[in-house]
Amino acid sequence: MKHVWWKEAVVYQIYPRSFKDSNGDGVGDLKGITSCLDYLKELGINVIWLSPVYQSPNDDNGYDISDYQEIMKEFGTMDDFEEMLSEAHKRGIKIMMDLVVNHTSDEHQWFVESRKSVDNPYRDYYIWREGKGEKQPPNNWGSSFSGSAWQYDVTTDMYYLHLFSKKQPDLNWDNEAVRQEVFSMMDWWCQKGVDGFRMDVISMISKTKEMPDGIKAEGAVYGDFAPYSIHGPNVHNYLKEMNRKVLSKYDLMTVGETAGVTVEEAKRYAGEDENELNMVFQFEHVDIGNNGNKWNLNKVPLVELKKILSKWQTELNGKAWNSLYLSNHDQPRCVSRFGNDSPEYRERSAKMLGTCLHMMQGTPYIYQGEELGMTNYPFTDISQFRDIESINAYRELVEEEKCREKNELIACFQYKSRDNARTPMQWDDSDNAGFTTGTPWIAVNPNYKKINAKEQVNNVSSVFHYYKKLIALRKEYKIIVYGTYELLLENDPNLYVYTRTYEKERLLVLCNFSEEEQAIKIPEEFMTADCRILISNYGRESVKVKELRPYETLVIYHK
Ligand code: GLC
Ligand code: CA
């Protein structure tokens, strides 16, 4: 297995709108990020994944880009960007840009031209089709944000494809001119000195030529576009071309967001010798319990979680590289989802989850606030939401189709909505958690007086200090990065236990996912005199462990 810096790195994701506001307009910005770099340096992360900062009308908070080479006005200027980049580099922190090129905004100049006429030079930059009969879209595909994936456009009496919102028309990657535009734009950012790309829904860029109706799940109004536009016929060709023309010329870190990816597909996207991407984000563990419908209250059975994560650990070993994550800007807070966010267990379970993830093989990603154990927001009403996914789902399911009851759906949002991750970063116990001196664009979680960075940086037993230690351990021990993984006790419904092996070194990782004490028999090998505890959330000092207390975790090491 090749040893490279991006395998040894720990990434921190910043969602700029919610990170730190520098000018009191209630919206986070680039100057705000620059002012917090010392905090990130102290935490010890190596790379920032910056969610989109490009010019955008913000239908989907920057994931709808109207100019790839300008900074969103609310976030600042290109000078602010350059300052942030150079200040990050001074601290040894790299910046990975979010690359959103499956679609643009409908306000992008290319689309403004494209919709003007069928013979406009930009027409073929997007995917246009004739309707089927009287005002019927070309097929039954539903968009990821509710409604049809096709939007009728009166000027030319045709429909354009949008797998996300109707303000996010899909680019036509089969058009060579589109690919060249994207590659030269990427090159422009590389010339500026950025260190990599996180590629938004990159598994969707290639669509089949034929676009038949998709299968409808039970009770669904729209059909599924997945088989025709996920891992489509040319996706690997296009990524190889991107790699040849741009990526291979720089020392970058790349990660593809690949909804629907299987282990087999991941080996193609991120295989050691495939010359596509460094790694991908898979979704199986965060989609547990969904069965095609995200809005449910299903808990995550540990046996299933272990099965999925272990499959990725063992099957990619030596062949492709894993990304490790439990949260991001599209997921609820991981302590609320996989742990226990009650005052009694929040800290312990946040530390336990961090350990479980950070001791695996792969590159870990920390989402802003995860290092503080930030929790979901107590949403009670639709007016509190800002996210297009939740707002559209509510309109469609409660108001139009009337197939879901209001309070029941809000309860599901409270558990799963993306807005849980998007409430402002909790910096201190002053007004608005120190995020802004103005009115925040989305409400601050009321628990900020208890849960905030200032308190945790000053408190050595905090989640922050625990994450700091997890990151430091990864830098010190090669086994944590490269060791081979093996799951123990696969059918235990409460304990997640695994080993890592690297040359003569061995690690045992113990995690109790329950709020009850669990008896455990530690393998002899990990109880001998030369065994050491690398980290523990109950301050254990002896390896003679007979039980794990609620949400207890510890890591034992020997050579
Ligand atoms: C990705 C992003 C998500 C966005 C979508 C459309 O899944 O992570 O936030 O809404 O793509 O760009
Ligand atoms: Ca601002």
For the chain, the average pLDDT equals: 97
The answer to whether the CB of 15 is under 6 A from ligand 1 is no
Considering only CA atoms, which residue is closest to atom 7 of ligand 1? 201
Spatial separation of the C-alpha atoms in residues 34 and 90, rounded to whole Å = 11
Beta bridge partners of 269: none
What residues act catalytically?
200, 257
Mean pLDDT in residue range 142-149: 96
Angle CA(494)–CA(499)–CA(505) in degrees, nearest 5? 155
Contact between 42 and 506 (Cβ < 8 Å)? no
Q: Report the predicted TM-score, pTM, of the whole model to 2 decimal places.
A: 0.98
Task: Locate the ligand 1 atom nearest the alpha carbon of residue 329 and give its number.
Answer: 9
Find out whether the beta carbon of 201 lies less than 6 Å from any atom of ligand 1. Answer: yes
CA of 190 to the centre of ligand 2 (A): 26
From the CB of 100, is ligand 1 less than 6 Å away? yes
Q: What is the DSSP string of 45-98?
A: --EEEE---EE---TTTTSS-SEEEEE-GGG--HHHHHHHHHHHHHTT-EEEEE
Closest ligand to Cα 22? 2
Q: Indicate whether 232 pLDDT > 90.
A: yes
Asked if the model's pLDDT at residue 219 lies above 90, the reply is no
Is the shortest distance between the CB of 396 and ligand 1 below 6 Å? no
Helix (H) or strand (E) holding 554: strand 553-558
Average pLDDT of span 443-469: 98
Counting from 1 in the atom list of ligand 1, the atom nearest the Cα of 63 is 12
- Which ligand 1 atom minimizes the distance to the CA of 102? 12
At residue 1, the pLDDT reads 86
Proportion of the chain above pLDDT 70, given as a percent: 100
Please name which ligand lies nearest the alpha carbon of 35: 2
Residue 292 pLDDT exceeds 90: no
User: What is the distance in A from the centroid of ligand 1 to the CA of 201?
Assistant: 7
The answer, yes or no, to whether any atom of ligand 1 lies below 6 A from the CB of 60, is yes
Sheet architecture: strand order including 158-161: 128-129, 158-161, 150-153
Whether 200 lines ligand 1, by a CB cut-off of 6 Å, is yes
Residues 6+ away with beta carbon under 8 Å from 240: 274, 275, 276
Instruction: Name the residue with the closest Cα to ligand 1, atom 4.
Output: 63
User: What letters, b where the CB count within 10 A reaches 16 and e where it falls short, cover 38-56?
Assistant: ebbeebbbbbbbbbbbbbb
91-121: per-residue pLDDT in tens? 999 999 999 999 999 999 999 999 999 999 9
Given the CA of residue 103, which atom of ligand 1 is nearest to it? 12
- Centre of ligand 1 to C-alpha 390, Å, is 13
Q: Which ligand is nearest to the CA of 167?
A: 1
**What tokens were used for 231?**
């891992």
CA angle 442, 446, 450 (to 5 degrees): 130
Instruction: State the amino acid at position 48 in one-letter form.
Output: I
Q: Give 210's contacts (C-beta < 8 A, 6+ positions apart).
A: 228
Sign of torsion over alpha carbons 77, 83, 87, 90 = positive
Give the confidence band of 242 by pLDDT, cuts at 50, 70, 90. very high
Could you count the other beta carbons within 10 Å of the beta carbon of residue 489? 16
Is the pLDDT score of 431 beyond 90?
Answer: yes
For the segment 8-30, the average pLDDT, to the nearest whole number, is: 98
- State the pLDDT at residue 291: 84
pLDDT at res. 218:
84
Q: Of all atoms in ligand 1, which is nearest to the CA of residue 388?
A: 10
Tell me how far the alpha carbon of residue 273 lies from the centroid of ligand 2, in angstroms.
Answer: 43
Compute the average pLDDT of residues 270-287. Answer: 97
Q: Out of 144, 197, 200, give the residue to mutate to test ligand 1, the one with the largest number of ligand atoms within 8 Å of its CB.
A: 200
Q: Which amino acid is at 5?
A: W
pLDDT of the residue at 135: 87
Where do runs of H (alpha helix) occur along 271-343?
A: 302-316, 334-337
- How far apart are the CA of 103 and the centre of ligand 1, in A? 10
Sketch out the chain's domains with CATH numbers. 1-100+364-377+425-476 (3.20.20.80), 109-161 (3.90.400.10), 380-416 (no CATH), 480-558 (2.60.40.1180)
- Kindly report the protein residue whose alpha carbon is nearest to atom 9 of ligand 1: 330
Question: What pLDDT is stored for residue 134 in this prediction?
Answer: 82
Q: What integer pLDDT is reported at residue 487 of this predicted model?
A: 98
pLDDT value, residue 69: 98
Average pLDDT over every residue of 221-240: 97
**In whole angstroms, what is the distance from residue 64 CA to residue 107 CA?**
9
State which residues have CB under 5 angstroms from ligand 2, the bound ion: 21, 23, 25, 27, 29
Largest CA distance in the chain: 79
Q: Which atom of ligand 1 is nearest to the CA of 328?
A: 8
Rounded mean pLDDT of 467-495?
98
Report how far ligand 1's centroid is from the alpha carbon of 198 (Å): 11
State residue 397's pLDDT score. 95
Q: Which atom of ligand 1 lies at the shortest distance from residue 100's CA?
A: 12
Does any ligand 1 atom lie closer than 6 A to the CB of residue 98? no
Ligand nearest to the CA of 59: 1
What are the residues facing 198 on neighbouring strands?
Answer: 98, 255
Distance 21 CA to ligand 2 centre (A): 4
Of 50, 54, 59, 60, the one to substitute when testing ligand 1's pocket (max ligand atoms within 8 A of C-beta) is 60
Residue 197 has pLDDT above 90, yes or no: yes
User: What is the CA(95)–ligand 2 centre distance, in A?
Assistant: 20
Q: Is 330 in the pocket of ligand 1 (CB under 6 A)?
A: yes
3-state per-residue secondary structure call for 404-450: CCHHHHHHHHHHHCCHHHHCCCCCCCCHHHHCCCCCCCCCCCHHHHC
